[in-house]
Amino acid sequence: MKGTFFITGIDTNIGKSYATGWLAREWNRQGIKTITQKMVQTGNVGHSEDIDLHREIMGIPFTEEDREHITFPIVYSYPASPHLAAEIDHQTIPIDKIAESTRILRDRYDVVLLEGAGGLMVPITRDYLTIDYVADHELPVILVTSGRLGSINHTLLSIEALERRGIQLYGLVYNTYPKSDKFIDADTEAYLRNYLEKQHPEAHFWVLPQIELAR
């Protein structure tokens, strides 16, 4: 198994970083040499909290590529959407750096899990969306969702956006954290499994457990 997969979510704070670290850990355990990359990190200076979290979940120290910032080539200080965070830092986003970094990582690893910022329609610049980047680079998508009220709607909207642009849905990660209403949780998982089986039978369905970090 080889390739770059784009990890996105139905919303910000849905568990993309947890899902990314968890998939990287599981795939490495299966012998698939997997690394993670953050497309654009906002709200940090000189590091990426998402990459920090991936390594913690993977249970590995920082890699050479982390120390060289290849895994997080673009970082802005203000915690906002990339287009706004870049403007606040008086920067123009060097979009080419994202794919350059992915290329370097692909030479060294079998799989790159590229975590986006927010969801599919998050602007990278004023006239370039996250989903435009995914389409331009023909990346299969792993979509992170959850059992909270509203997730079915957000998930189906995200999937329709992918379909409209001919982007492959590689799989859905159903995040079991945080637990909300038990009826809604159970029904959301069942509903999404059924929807995927009917509409995208080739797509994977993973259930992400609650992960306790040793802090």
Ligand X SMILES: Nc1ncnc2c1ncn2[C@@H]1O[C@H](COP(=O)(O)OP(=O)(O)O)[C@@H](O)[C@H]1O
Please give the residue ranges that form the binding site for ligand X (CB under 6 A).
Answer: 9, 12-18, 175, 177, 208, 210-211
Using an 8 Å Cβ cutoff, are 1 and 113 in contact? no
CB of 202 to ligand X, least distance (A): 25
The residues annotated as belonging to the active site are 38
**Residue 44 annotated as lining a ligand binding site:** no
Interface residues toward Mg ion, by CB under 5 A: 16-17, 50
> Is position 115 annotated in a ligand binding site?
yes
What is the helix (H) or strand (E) element at residue 38, kind and residue range?
strand 34-38
Nearer to ligand X among residue 14 and residue 167 (C-beta): 14
Q: At a CB cut-off of 8 Å and minimum separation 6, what does 175 contact?
A: 14, 15, 18, 19, 144, 145, 146, 147, 208
Choice between 49 and 195, CB closer to Mg ion: 49
> Is 18 annotated as ligand-binding?
yes
Whether the CB-CB separation of 13 and 49 falls below 8 Å is answered with no
Half-sphere exposure of 41 (CA within 13 A, CB side): 23
Binding partner selected for residue 14 from Mg ion, ligand X, none, CB under the kind-specific 5 to 8 Å limit: ligand X
Q: Are 197 and 203 in contact (CB under 8 A)?
A: no
| Shortest Å, Cβ 9 to ligand X | 5
Binding site residue list for substrate = 42
Binding site residue list for Mg(2+) = 17, 50, 115
